């Protein structure tokens, strides 16, 4: 794992932004390598800027709301990751 994220102090299987539950900072990026075999992703809390801040899993970007080139984060539940999970926030609005 590298970048602007951490393992939750309350759940070793949960990743969160460094400021969670407060807003994350602009221009954050985090890369986590999924160890195979890995279990499915379960979303417990998600609040990001739509379209521009995303989590990429298995080469697909997921964000707050679906758009032409990204899927809604609700479609992440149950996805089994392989390779890197990449969190990226742009330099404007942010959330938690």
- pLDDT, tens digit, 9 for 90 and up, residues 34-80: 888 889 999 888 888 887 899 999 999 998 887 767 888 889 999 99
**pLDDT given for residue 71 in this prediction:** 86
Q: Is the pLDDT of residue 32 over 90?
A: yes
**pLDDT given for residue 81 in this prediction:** 94
Provide the CB-side half-sphere exposure for 42 (13 A, CA): 6
Q: How does residue 93 score in pLDDT terms, banded at 50, 70 and 90?
A: low
**pLDDT given for residue 95 in this prediction:** 65
Which are the contacts of 11, defined by CB distance < 8 A and separation ≥ 6?
none
User: Hey, CA dihedral for 37, 29, 94, 6, is it positive or negative?
Assistant: positive
**pLDDT given for residue 84 in this prediction:** 93
Q: Could you tell me if 51 and 67 are in contact, meaning their C-beta atoms sit under 8 angstroms apart?
A: yes
- The CA distance from 36 to 82, in Å, is 7
Token duo for residue 90: 């742009």
Q: How does residue 96 score in pLDDT terms, banded at 50, 70 and 90?
A: low
- The CA distance from 83 to 87, in Å, is 13
**pLDDT given for residue 66 in this prediction:** 76
Q: Could you tell me if 4 and 16 are in contact, meaning their C-beta atoms sit under 8 angstroms apart?
A: no
């Amino acid at each position: 794992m590298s970048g602007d994220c951490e393992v939750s102090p309350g759940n070793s299987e949960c990743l969160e932004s460094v400021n969670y539950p407060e807003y994350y900072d602009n221009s954050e990026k985090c890369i986590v390598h999924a160890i195979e075999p890995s279990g499915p992703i379960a979303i417990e809390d998600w609040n990001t800027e739509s379209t521009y801040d995303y989590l990429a899993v298995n080469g697909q970007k997921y964000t707050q709301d679906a758009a032409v080139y990204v899927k809604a984060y609700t479609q992440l539940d149950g996805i089994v990751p392989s390779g890197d999970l990449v969190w990226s926030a742009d330099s404007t609005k942010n959330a938690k």
